[in-house]
Chains A and B, each alone.
Chain A
Amino acid sequence: MPEILDQARTQVLGDGVGLDQAGILAVLNLPDEHLSAALQLAHDVRMRWCGPEVEVEGIVSLKTGGCPEDCHFCSQSGLFTSPVRSVWLDIPSLVKAAKQTAATGATEFCIVAAVRGPDARLMKQMREGVAAIKAEVDIQVAASLGMLTKEQVDDLVDMGVHRYNHNLETCKSYFPNVVTTHSWEERWETLRMVRDSGMEVCCGGILGLGETVEQRAEFAAQLAELNPHEVPLNFLNPRPGTPLGDRPVVEGKDALRAIAAFRLAMPRTILRYAGGREITLGDLGTREGLLGGINAVIVGNYLTTLGRPATADLELLNELKMPVKALSATL
Chain B
Amino acid sequence: MTTMTTTQLWCDRCGESATATAHPACASARQLEPPRFCPECRRRMKVQVLPVGWSAVCVEHGEIQG
Contacts and interface: CB of A to CB of B under 8 A. Distances in A.
21 contacts: A58-B51, A60-B50, A60-B51, A61-B49, A64-B48, A64-B49, A85-B47, A87-B47, A93-B48, A97-B51, A97-B52, A100-B51, A101-B51, A300-B51, A300-B52, A301-B50, A301-B52, A305-B32, A305-B33, A306-B32, A306-B49
Interface in B25-66: 31-34, 36-37, 44-54
B15 A306 contact: no
B32 A279 contact: yes
Given A83-B36, A84-B36, A278-B32, A306 B50 contact: no
B22 to A, nearest CB: 18
A89 interface: yes
Interface in A78-96: 83-87, 89, 93, 96
Interface in A4-46: none
Interface residues of B, number: 21
Given A83-B15, A85-B45, A306 B54 contact: yes
Contact of B46 (A87, A101, A304): A87
A117 interface: no
A139 B46 CA distance: 28
A160 interface: no
Contact of A89 (B14, B45, B48, B52): B48
Contacts of B13: 240
A174 interface: no
A255 interface: no
Contacts of B1: 306
Contacts of A307: 32
A66 to B, nearest CB: 11
B51 A85 contact: no
Interface in A226-279: 240, 278-279
Given A240-B14, A301-B54, A306-B54, A87 B48 contact: yes
Nearest to B35: A83
Contacts of A47: none
B44 to A, nearest CB: 5
Contacts of B54: 301, 306
Question: Across chains A and B, which 10 residue pairs bring their CB atoms closest together, nearest first?
Answer: A300-B51, A83-B36, A58-B51, A87-B46, A100-B52, A306-B32, A101-B51, A97-B50, A301-B49, A85-B46
Nearest to A298: B51
A149 B19 CA distance: 51
B51 A61 contact: no
B47 A299 contact: no
Contacts of A58: 51
Contacts of A310: 51-52
